[in-house]
Amino acid sequence: ERAAHADTLIEEEKKKADSEAERAVQANKRADEEKTRADSEAQRADQAEKRADEEKTRADTQAERAAHADTLIEEEKKKADSEAERAVQANKRADEEKTRADSEAQRA
């Protein structure tokens, strides 16, 4: 009877141990799934950050180009203003020359 009782106790302990082992296996499985989800999430976050960095680089490049274009336009405007000023001065000299020539012609 004692041996039968001992066998029963051993059997119950074995079932408990098996049950505990199964719970541990399930917990490990859930932990692995959670880790996989977390890894995927981290990868998506990295990709989003990479895309944001690329977008910022493109925007910076466009801003640089726009600033360069503005500089070129400003330089062209200065050249045009300078050219216009030279033309005004040339016209002034031509008018003075004509006035002198007219005076010469009258004296002659």
Say if 41 falls within a structural domain. yes
d(CA 90, CA 85): 9
pLDDT value at residue 15: 97
Q: Distance from first CA to last CA of the chain, Å, rounded? A: 158
pLDDT value at residue 26: 98
Say if 56 falls within a structural domain. yes
pLDDT value at residue 108: 81
Dihedral, CA atoms, 40, 45, 50, 55, nearest 10 degrees? 130
pLDDT value at residue 35: 98
d(CA 62, CA 75): 20
Say if 68 falls within a structural domain. yes
Say if 102 falls within a structural domain. no
Say if 21 falls within a structural domain. yes
For the chain, which residues score pLDDT lower than 50?
none
Say if 42 falls within a structural domain. yes
Helices (H) and strands (E) in the chain, counts: 1, 0
Say if 39 falls within a structural domain. yes
How many domains does the chain fold into?
1
Say if 57 falls within a structural domain. yes
pLDDT value at residue 98: 97
Domain region containing 57:
1-76
Confidence (pTM): 0.53
pLDDT value at residue 2: 87
